[in-house]
Amino acid sequence: MYALVDGNNFYVSCERTFRPSLNGRPVVVLSNNDGCAIARSNEAKDLGIKMGAPWFQIRHLEDSHGLVALSANFALYGDMSDRVMSIAAGLGPGQEVYSIDECFVDLDGVQGDMKLRSKRIRQRILKWTGIPCGIGIGPTKTLAKLANHIAKTAERKPGSYPAEMAQVCDLSTMPEPQLNAMMAATPVTEVWGVGRKISAQLGAVGIHTALDLARMDTATVRHRWSVVLERTVRELQGVSCIGFDDVPSAKQQIACTRSFGHAVTQLSGLMEAVSTFASRAAEKLRRQHSHAAEVLCFIRTSPFRPDAQYSGSMVVPLRRPSADTAVIVQAALNGLKAIFRPGFKYAKAGVMLLELQPDRLVQQELDSDGTDRSPLMMSTLDAINQRYGRGTVALACAGVGRNQSTWGMKQERRTPQYTTCWEDMVVVRA
């Protein structure tokens, strides 16, 4: 049996913890470059703001409806997430942190009233962090997700589901007729694993609700769609098909990509950006103790602009797998020089590390004396940047901020890093 704990409107709720004046107001958190809305308060949803809505299309609501927009503050959200997760872990013996705002908890062997227990945990998270959560319980992950959806929807839209489902919903002990009624009231799009494309295809054959999907014949589903959807159907039927990932495995690829604050036309600006992204990616690589065998670099213009379009990418193999920033930056820059075409307004670039492997598998070289100083240098670099802040020590090709004002991120509405930066800490005066 599983529980799914999920923070409501997570980024907005993090901001509200430190600025209670935002309660009751329509609030959105914007993506990097203040591009589009990636989190919305209930009031903002009620204004009809869609997930991913471009800011320039909704900014008129600032004046007309008191909409508040904030730049994304991921340092804050990451830290608040850690706090929420450590409290949620108290619900059961195992926890899988699935994303920044949600986790599955394994409830096997837990005694007592699961719903009451969940309500207490929910209350504790709210009291200790200020983040409101929904908790769903079910015999499979997909049903726990469904229960979570019901818990949140019942709270937000009274009348959509029975009122006692609000905040915490337990589908695991529900009598079948009632469970069927819940599934019949849930559109199939809300089922975990059913996206836009597949729900349209299902709709075309008369499958509109979670219950319709649960009652489909698994062989038909597998034949017409895939084993992925078949698993979803079985999970809805109460047969667990999706495993529990207690210890997250190392990533198979690592990316660092950004849209620019302003268009970049010169190779020099792109070189700075790509160097910076490659350095960041290498840091992430070292944190999970991996080496990369290939480096992918890409650049592209903005598909939203009427200008001439160009998109180029190249995979650069390394002579041998590495986690050395200098090696990875050099490979990325070699790729960049090969794909760069003058005369375009570049809007985005990125570096991806591919073919990752554990760093303990090292292939020595015949002409080497066996002493590789790179690991020591890299761990020193990471330690300094960890202690004194990102970018304290960097490769010179990442620039010294000369072009940063061009390609660097636009963040005009960022809130303080209340919990991760001494200077930004809240001061209480008597």
Partner DNA sequence: TCTGGGGTCCTAGGACCC
CB of residue 411 vs DNA: minimum separation in angstroms? 11
Site for DNA (CB under 7 A): which residue of 65, 115, 119, 284? 284
Rule CB under 7 A: is residue 195 a binding residue for DNA? yes
Query: Of 104-112, 116-124, 248-256, 320-328, which part binds DNA (CB under 7 A)?
Result: 248-256
Q: Burial code of 3-32, b = ≥16 C-beta within 10 A, e = fewer? A: bbbbbbbbbbbbbbbbeeebeeebbbbbbb
By CB under 7 A, how many residues form the interface with DNA?
Answer: 47
Show contacts with DNA in window 111-130 (CB under 7 A). Answer: none
Of the pair 27, 282, the CB lying nearest DNA is at 282
Sheet hosting strand 37-40, strand order edge to edge = 37-40, 27-30, 68-71
CA distances to 147, 150, 206 from 168, in Å: 8, 9, 31
Report the residue number, 77 or 340, with the smaller CB distance to DNA.
Answer: 77
Q: Is 71 in the site for DNA (CB under 7 A)?
A: no
Query: Cα(348)–Cα(325) distance, rounded to whole angstroms?
Result: 21
106 to each of 99, 140, 244, how far by Cα in Å? 16, 10, 8
- Give the residue, chosen from 25, 45, 54, 372, that forms a contact with DNA under the rule CB under 7 A: 54
Listed ranges 35-43, 125-133, 332-340, 376-384: which one lies at the site for DNA (CB under 7 A): 35-43
Query: By CB under 7 A, which span of 14-22, 98-106, 329-337, 412-420 interacts with DNA?
Result: 98-106
Distance, in Å, from the CA atom of 104 to the CA atom of 363, rounded to the nearest integer, reads: 39
- Residue from 211, 213, 347, 394 touching DNA (CB under 7 A): that is 347
Binding mask 212-241 for DNA (x = CB under 7 A): --------------xxx-------------
Please choose, from the candidates 126, 127, 206, 116, the residue with its C-alpha nearest in 3D space to the C-alpha of residue 164. Answer: 116
User: Binder to DNA among 196, 319, 360, 387 (CB under 7 A)?
Assistant: 196
Q: Is 242 among the residues that bind DNA (CB under 7 A)? A: no
Q: Are the C-beta atoms of 144 and 5 separated by less than 8 Å?
A: no
Cα(167)–Cα(146) distance, rounded to whole angstroms? 13
The residues, ordered by sequence, that sit 6+ positions from 165 with a Cβ below 8 Å of its Cβ are 150, 151, 154, 182
Task: Report the nearest approach of DNA to the CB of residue 222 (Å).
Answer: 7
Q: What DSSP character marks residue 250?
A: P
Which among 190, 238, 203, 189 has a CA at the least distance from the CA of 218?
A: 238
Residues of the shown chain interacting with DNA in the complex, contacts defined by CB under 7 A? 31-33, 35-36, 38, 52, 54-56, 98-102, 145, 191-199, 226-228, 251-259, 262-263, 284, 302, 304-305, 347-348, 350, 352
